[in-house]
Chain A
Amino acid sequence: MTGRNPPPLRSYRHGAFKTTYAQQPDGTVLVTHDDGREGRFHVDGRHIEGDLTQANRHMLYFAGGPALPDACRYRWGEVPVDLDRPSGWPEEQERALPHQLG
C-alpha cells in the first residue's frame, strides 16, 4: 500500500460508461466523458454545473467520499495479523484503531 501524506485527490475510471471521476479540492467530483463533456457534482449525486448532468452516485461517493487512514487501506481478506503482538494487530494498524484495543 502507499504511504503518502497528504493523500492525492482520488480519481477513478468507469470503463463501462466511458467516464472519469476526479475528486476536487472543494469536495466535489468532476466527471469527464470521453466525448469531452464535463459535469461537476456533489458526492451525493446532485449536479452543480456542466454539460454532463448525470453520473453514477456510487462512483461519486467512491471518488469524493470519506477516505481511510493509510494504515487501514487493506483488502478484507488480507487484513494484517501480527502473531507476536498481544492485540494481534500490527503496530501500524494498532495506532489507527485505538477503539479496537479497548
Chain B
Amino acid sequence: MSISDTKDEAGATPPKPAYPEHLARESPYPPGVRRVPVDRYFRPEYHELEVERIWKRCWQWVCRAEEIPEVGDHMLYEVADLSFIVVRTAPDEIKAYPNACLHRGRRLCDHPGKRAEEFRCMFHGWAWNIDGTMKDMACGWDFPGTRDEVSRLPECKVGVWSGFVFINPDPDAEPLSDFLGELPDHFEGAGHDLGQRWKQVHVCAELPVNWKVVQEAFLEAWHTNITHPQMVRSPEHAYATGTRWDAFGNWMRLASALPTDKHRSAGPGWGVIAESEQQALNYYYDWHDQEAAAIRLQPGQKTGEITSKAQRAAVGQALGQGADAYHDAHMHSGEMLMLFPNFHPWGGFSRIVYRFRPRGNDPERSLMDILLMAPWPNDRPRPPPAPVHYLTVDQPITDAVELGYLARVFGQDLGNVRAVQDGLKMLRRGYVICSSENEAPVRMFHDLYDKWMGFEDGDHLSRASPANGAAGR
C-alpha cells in the first residue's frame, strides 16, 4: 500500500497511511427510477433462458485455488441443473469440464475429491485423464468411427483472480481479465491480497426463493432502516447522507464517507440514529440492554474510536503484526462490491464474500454462499480452508454459529426474502420499482441482466403491460 511521505526522516513523525486511491475513483450510475417485471423472479421461461444466456455464458466464481492444492484435487460446481468438474491438472494449471460422460451422459464425477488420476464413468467405465484426454474407451471396438469425437472432454474457460477460481462454460468467452475490468486494481489498491486470505468460514444455505430475490436483499443497504433496526448509527454520524454507488462495467461498488465525494445524496439521509454513543457501541457488538456493556465509554468518547481500535486490533492480530499501515477506510470496510451475475467480494477487512445461484431447475429455489476470508500473514502457511457448511432449506441460518453476529442479521434478511417471493406474485401491475439512488445497484443488475438475456429492446417474456413500463425506466 502507499504510505504518505513523512517530513521527519528520523521517525519523529510516523508515516500516516494514505487514503486508498481506489476508493477515490468515482463513476456514479446514471440516475433514474427502474421498473422491473416480476415474472423473472418465478416463471420457468426466465429460468430456462438464464441457463442458456447467463449460466452457460458468464464468468462465475466456483471455488478457491487452495481448495484444490494438489494435482488431481477436484471440486464440483453446480448452478441450476448444470454441473462442472474443476480440477488441478498441474501445479500451475486448473481445468474445468462439463460433468458428463461422453458415452451415455452419466455424470462423470459424483463427488469432490483428492489426487484423482482419472475420471471414470460409473456406468460403463469410459475414463478420461484429469487433463481431459481419453484414457480408456471400454469396448472401443464396439464404437467404430467415434473415437475422435470422444477423445477429449470439452473444456470450460478458467481464470483465477486473487485465489478465486472462475469458469466460463462458453469456449468463446472473453478472458476473465477483460470481464473483471479494473476490479483487481481496486483490491490491489487496498494494499492487501485476497489471495492470501484464509477461508475461515463457508456457509451454503438453500433457500426457497429465486436467486435474484435473495441477491437483491444484499444489493443495497437502505433496507437496514426497517430490517435491521438494531444497527443504529452513532449520533456522531447523524449527518451522513446514506451511501453512494459507482459502476465499473460488469461490477459495482458501494462506498460511504468518501472525502472526495462530490456526489451527495439528493435527499435527506436515512438510518436509525442511536439515542446515545453507548447504545451505538453496545448494539454494534450486539450487547443488549440487559447485560453489562464490556466497554463503558468515557464522557466525550465516541463509538468510532472504540470500533476502529477493535477492528485494527483484530486485523493486526490476524496478520501477526500491527495494522498501522492501513488507513481507517480499510478498517471500516464500507465497500460492498458486486460482480455480475452473482459474486460479491466486499472490500477492506470486512472479510465478507457472497455468491447467489439457482438450485436445480426450480426458479424458486436457490443457494446462498457466505464466506469470511480472514487476513493471514504472508509468511505463514494457512490453515486448511473451511469446508462448506450446508444448511438445508428448513434449517435456520443461526445454525451456522461460525458467522457470529452476522447469522442473526441474516436471520432478519432471510425473514424478508420468502415474503418477497410470495408477494411478487400478488402485484397486479406486474413490476416492482427500484429507486434512483439507494437502489441503484439493483437497477444496474437488471440493466446487465437485460443485456445478457437479450432484453435490451424490451423484456419480451414479460406479461406486464408495456404501458406500465414492463422493462421501463
Contact = CB atoms under 8 A, between A and B. Distances in A.
Interface of A: 1-2, 4, 7-17, 20, 22, 56-59, 61-63, 65-69, 72-81, 83, 85-89, 93, 96-97, 99-100, 102
Give the size category of B's interface with A: 35 or more
Interface of B: 198, 200-201, 226-230, 232, 272-275, 279, 283-292, 294, 310-311, 314-315, 317-318, 320, 331, 333, 349-352, 372, 374-377, 380, 382-383, 386-387, 389, 396, 398, 401-408, 411-412, 415
A10 B408 contact: no
A80 B375 CA distance: 10
Contacts of A22: 290
B374 A96 contact: no
Given A59-B230, A76-B404, 4 more contacts: A8-B290, A72-B403, A75-B311, A99-B387
Contact of B407 (A9, A14, A68, A102): A68
Contact of B288 (A12, A65, A79): A12
Given A2-B294, A75-B284, A76-B403, A83 B226 contact: no
Contact of A61 (B288, B352, B380, B411): B411
A88 B351 contact: no
18 contacts: A10-B288, A11-B289, A15-B232, A16-B272, A58-B227, A61-B415, A72-B404, A73-B404, A73-B405, A74-B404, A75-B284, A75-B405, A77-B331, A77-B349, A79-B200, A79-B404, A80-B314, A81-B376
A86 B381 CA distance: 9
Contact of B229 (A2, A58, A79, A83): A58
B285 A9 contact: no
A79 B230 contact: no
Contacts of A57: 415
Contacts of A62: 229-230, 408, 412
A16 to B, nearest CB: 5
A97 B402 contact: yes
Nearest to B404: A74
A93 B398 CA distance: 16
A66 B404 contact: no
Contacts of A15: 232, 272-275, 279
Given A58-B228, A77-B350, A81-B376, A68 B294 contact: no
Question: Which 10 A-B pairs give the minimum distances between C-beta atoms?
Answer: A88-B383, A66-B398, A78-B314, A81-B318, A74-B404, A11-B289, A72-B401, A15-B275, A58-B412, A10-B288
Contacts of B230: 12, 59, 62
Given A65-B411, A75-B404, A99 B398 contact: no
A58 B387 contact: no
Nearest to B228: A58
Contacts of B275: 13, 15
Contact of B408 (A2, A68, A79, A81): A68
Nearest to B405: A75
Contacts of A10: 288, 290
Residue of B283, B311, B376, B398 with highest tally of chain A CB at under 10 A: B398
A56 B226 contact: yes
Contacts of A87: 383
A68 B401 contact: yes
A9 to B, nearest CB: 6
A1 B310 CA distance: 12
Contacts of B227: 58
